[in-house]
Structure 1
Amino acid sequence: MTVQYRGQAPGSGVGKRRSRAPRKSVAERLDDGEITHEEARDAAREALLRILTAAQKSRHELEQALARKGFPESVVIPLLDRFDEVGLVDDAGYAGTIVRTRHGERGLARRAISAELRRRGIDEETATEALDQIDADDERVAGARLAEKLVVKTRGKDRDVRVRRAVGSLARKGYAPGMAFELVREALAADGEETDDLPYAD
């Protein structure tokens, strides 16, 4: 039985969902001649500027973002080359910023920061140069500060629990297991915890 609503003509189709054709990507519209290469390039430029206004990105991240928006490589690559030339895309500067903020603000070790740089598409040479800002002493100082904060948070708990939690947190921030254990041992001793029976890391 078909229900007919007041004011609805028979067979009018009111109330039925209309299927919409999938929206064409920029690449498809370009191939079909609906837009010119210049129009596609201008749209990609506007999209790039919006992305960069919100946050700094690596060239790889920008390339992926534009690809998701449907822009073809023939438009994206020359545009990114131009942005690179004028300094709007700067992987070296971006990598340096990541190293400084992750180490200085979060206390991350080189290993964890290196993994993030890889995820963001920073090439190995650029990443290595950026990571050279952090030496072994810098890493140890940052790790010691973290270890101190971590053991303070677990005061009153069983010592082995304190050790396990603090070492695990440092490991997740990129510190090698041996260094993490040593830093936690020192922090616990400074906090008045008995540590003479704890083994020293090799």
Structure 2
Amino acid sequence: MTGARRPGRRSGRAPEPPDVGAAAVDAEPDPEQLARSIALRLLTAAPRSRQQLAEAMARRDVPEAVTERVLDRFTDVGLVDDAGYAEGLVRAKHESRGLARRALAVELKRKGVGDEDARAALAQIDDADEEAAARELLARRWRRDLDPVVQSRRLLAMLGRKGYSPGMAARLVREMVDDSRAQSSDQPGSDLD
């Protein structure tokens, strides 16, 4: 088989070496550039607290002084704003997951938000908002086909995990059970005279 070419080869010449760029030569990236890159990448995906960004930079061995300098600059230009981050997180988690202030405070602390910013963000939720969210959660999770005792136990546990006080949870679950019993006694056919 003369003249047959093998796939992937060009007329007998050796393949050219890959182009060696500046990134391959520079083994140690500039720490400040690395820190900026990490912060921008994370902030592009979602808002972050200052502590979350600092932790991400520490995992990549960015020196602490460089981390502070970059985060100070990002704070100055408004890219890092723990107060705004806290307000957004509280609003979103309260509306989407129905979390109470107590659970939200734990979440903010875990994310590294300071006490002052956390208090200000949590102030946007009052007792009435919290109770309305708990009632909505109970209405969504209520099942008529389940034993009321089992149902009550499950709903109390769910509200507890979401940060609601035991007193409020017990009162609201008791109201749901009472309403359910009243509705089942008002079924068609029960008022025939």
Which bin holds the TM-score, normalised by the shorter protein?
A: 0.7 to 0.9
The structure with the larger Rg is 2
Q: Which residue of the partner structure matches residue 114 of structure 2?
A: 123
Q: Which residue of the partner structure matches residue 161 of structure 2?
A: 172
Q: Which residue of the partner structure matches residue 189 of structure 1?
A: 178
Q: How many aligned residue pairs are there? A: 157
Quick one: distance in 1 between partners of 2:28 and 2:152?
Answer: 63
Instruction: Assess if the C-alpha contact under 8 Å between 1:159 and 1:193 holds in 2.
Output: no
Q: In structure 2, what residue type is equivalent to 1:57?
A: R
Matched, 1:51 2:45: no
Q: TM-score, normalised by structure 2?
A: 0.77
Identity %: 47
Consecutive unaligned residues in structure 1, runs of 5 or more: 1-33, 195-202
Pick aligned residue for 2:83 from 79, 85, 92: 92
* SS class of match (2:79): coil
Instruction: Assess if the C-alpha contact under 8 Å between 2:38 and 2:56 holds in 1.
Output: no
Instruction: Assess if the C-alpha contact under 8 Å between 1:151 and 1:184 holds in 2.
Output: no
* SS class of match (2:35): helix
Q: Pairwise CA RMSD of aligned residues?
A: 1.6
* Deviation at residue 191 of structure 1 after TM alignment: 2.4
Q: Which residue of the partner structure matches residue 61 of structure 1?
A: 52
Which runs of structure 2 are paired with 1:23-42 in the superposition (5 Å)? 35=28, 39-42=30-33
* Deviation at residue 55 of structure 1 after TM alignment: 1.4
Q: In structure 2, what residue type is equivalent to 1:133?
A: Q
Q: In structure 2, what residue type is equivalent to 1:166?
A: L
Cα shift readout 1:14-38 (whole Å, capped 9, x = no counterpart): xxxxxxxxxxxxxxxxxxxx758xx
Residues 1:83 and 1:137: Cα distance change in structure 2 (over 3 Å)? same
Matched, 1:148 2:148: no
Q: In structure 1, what residue type is equivalent to 2:177?
A: L
Q: Which residue of the partner structure matches residue 9 of structure 1?
A: none
Quick one: distance in 2 between partners of 1:178 and 1:150?
Answer: 19
Cα shift readout 1:76-100 (whole Å, capped 9, x = no counterpart): 1000000000000010010001110
Quick one: distance in 1 between partners of 2:31 and 2:136?
Answer: 51
Q: Which residue of the partner structure matches residue 146 of structure 2?
A: 157
Q: TM-score, normalised by structure 1?
A: 0.74
Cα shift readout 1:132-182 (whole Å, capped 9, x = no counterpart): 000011101111111122223xx2222110110001000100001111011
* SS class of match (2:125): coil
Pick aligned residue for 1:75 from 51, 66, 70: 66
Quick one: distance in 1 between partners of 2:168 and 2:78?
Answer: 39
* SS class of match (2:53): helix
Q: Which residue of the partner structure matches residue 139 of structure 1?
A: 130
Instruction: Assess if the C-alpha contact under 8 Å between 1:108 and 1:173 holds in 2.
Output: yes
